[in-house]
């Protein structure tokens, strides 16, 4: 049987009762990006980090690296959900690397682990993540990214932002509202 040192236990501080959970914000976008796209991702990540939210991403390069670097630059927490089997594949800005061995199918996990999504530009991988978010009712804020339509009618579920800080702030607001609804439904 494991015994806990009394001093160790006295120094352990549990989370505050009733404290709101940290929002988890996914940042999705191209795995290769231009310098201007990188700076957008960095600013989104820094805004997420400053707000005390957790940044979730695919953990590799391009937009994932930009957002993670931005979050870490302000002391934020980053999680990378990797397509491969090795945690060592994560970019240097990832605090917690979660290898899945699922290849592109890990895109669903990135979305599922998040309370809101910021999509910055992106290709078909980003589009697949957007589709999962819309299907799972995870709020999405887009920054120069895909728009979708169904039966010729534009789906307005992807909210647009005019800049990186606005995109991150809106996603955090949407995530907090979603968390509040989930907490109210669980009582």
Sign, Cα dihedral of 21, 108, 26, 93: positive
Residues 120-154: pLDDT tens digits? 999 999 999 999 999 999 999 999 999 999 899 99
Q: Could you give the angle at the alpha carbon of 104 between the alpha carbons of 87 and 151, nearest 5°? A: 150
Closest C-alpha to 116, from 181, 56, 185, 46: 56
The torsion of the CA quartet 125, 128, 129, 130, rounded to 10 degrees, works out to 120
Residue 152 Cα distances to 100, 101, 102, angstroms: 36, 37, 33
> Where do the structural domains in the chain lie, given as residue ranges?
21-146+160-185
CB of 109 within 8 A of CB of 88? no
Give me the tens of pLDDT residue by residue for the chain, a chain 187 residues long: 445 555 555 555 555 656 678 999 999 999 999 999 999 999 999 999 999 999 999 999 999 999 999 999 999 999 999 999 999 999 999 999 999 999 999 999 999 999 999 999 999 999 999 999 999 999 999 999 999 998 999 989 999 999 999 999 999 999 999 999 877 776 5
How many other C-beta atoms are found inside a 10 Å radius of the C-beta of residue 18?
Answer: 6
- Assign domain 21-146+160-185 one CATH number from 3.40.50.720, 3.40.50.300, 1.10.1240.10, 3.40.50.450: 3.40.50.450
């Amino acid at each position: 049987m494991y015994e806990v040192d009394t001093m160790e236990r006295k120094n352990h501080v549990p989370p505050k009762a009733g404290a709101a959970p940290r929002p988890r914000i996914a940042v999705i976008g191209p795995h290769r990006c231009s310098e201007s796209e990188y700076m957008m991702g960095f600013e989104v990540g820094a805004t997420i980090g400053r707000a005390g939210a957790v940044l979730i991403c695919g953990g590799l390069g391009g937009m994932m690296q930009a957002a993670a670097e931005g979050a870490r630059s302000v002391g934020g927490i980053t999680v990378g959900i990797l397509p491969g089997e090795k945690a060592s594949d994560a970019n240097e800005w990832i605090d917690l690397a979660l290898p899945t061995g699922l290849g592109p199918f890990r895109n669903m996990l990135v979305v599922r682990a998040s309370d809101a999504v910021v999509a910055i530009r992106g290709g078909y991988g980003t589009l697949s993540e957007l589709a999962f978010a819309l299907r799972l009712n995870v709020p999405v804020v887009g920054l120069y990214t895909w728009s979708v339509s169904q039966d010729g009618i534009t789906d307005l579920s992807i909210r647009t932002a005019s800049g990186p800080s606005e995109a991150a702030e809106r996603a955090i607001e949407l995530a907090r509202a979603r968390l509040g609804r989930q907490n109210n439904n669980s009582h």
